[in-house]
Amino acid sequence: MSNLYLGEGGGQGVLDVLDAKTTEVILDCSTIDVSTARAVSDAASQKGLSFMDSPVSGGVAVAAAGNLAFMCGGEAAAFEKAKSVLAPMGQKIFHAGPPGSGQVAKACNNMLLAIHMIGTCEALSMGSRSGLDPAALSEILKASSGRNWSLELYNPFPGVMPTTPASNDYAPGFMVDLMVKDLGLASEIAEQTKFASPMGGLARQLYLQHQESGKGAKDFSSIMEGLQELER
């Protein structure tokens, strides 16, 4: 992404053709590495431009409903300008901190999403193998301390929620390939901050195995299939 903004091989990038007098703030909603977001922000600042990394969360259905969550990294003044632009696409707009902070927040979110999706798949699979109805078990868990987003809104067991990818042959949604990418970004942050991240590391390993088995284009909740293929 840095080539897009900064140019490559002597060519112009986006920052070279923007006018600081007319450009209020540059909002980039892609999910990228923190160092690139900070480098582009620094380059924009040197040209008198404001840049804000603004990755999103919510998925396809939430985007269609205009209810995305935005995690913004940049200066406070830029964030105030950004809110009016982002509001039609989502009411949950957060200023995570200085440049790059939006990417850190997104990586933390998607790492946690991967972890609780795997845990939800594991619990429902174990219950099903023990003779429990996965739909009934889901209701029990939703009313108990195991309640989480994956269980409540994105149930990964086929047939439990008709509208989820699990009930539609795991058509994405949010692909396994994208989750692997995001877990790689989270791994970079953990390495840079010297944080062990044992659960994040295991989630990444499991999703990499699932991707390598040919499931990269399926929804990330298809990790259910990968776990069900594991045997003691």
Active site positions, annotated: 106
Residue 93 CA: distances (Å) to CA of 33, 38, 107, 174: 20, 20, 16, 21
**CA 71 to CA 87: how far, in whole Å?**
12
Q: Which residue has 């840079």 as its token pair? A: 192
Confirm if 25 and 54 have CB atoms less than 8 A apart. no
Dihedral (Cα; 170, 173, 179, 181), 10-degree rounding: 120
**CA 24 to CA 44: how far, in whole Å?**
12
The H-or-E segment that residue 86 falls in is: helix 76-86
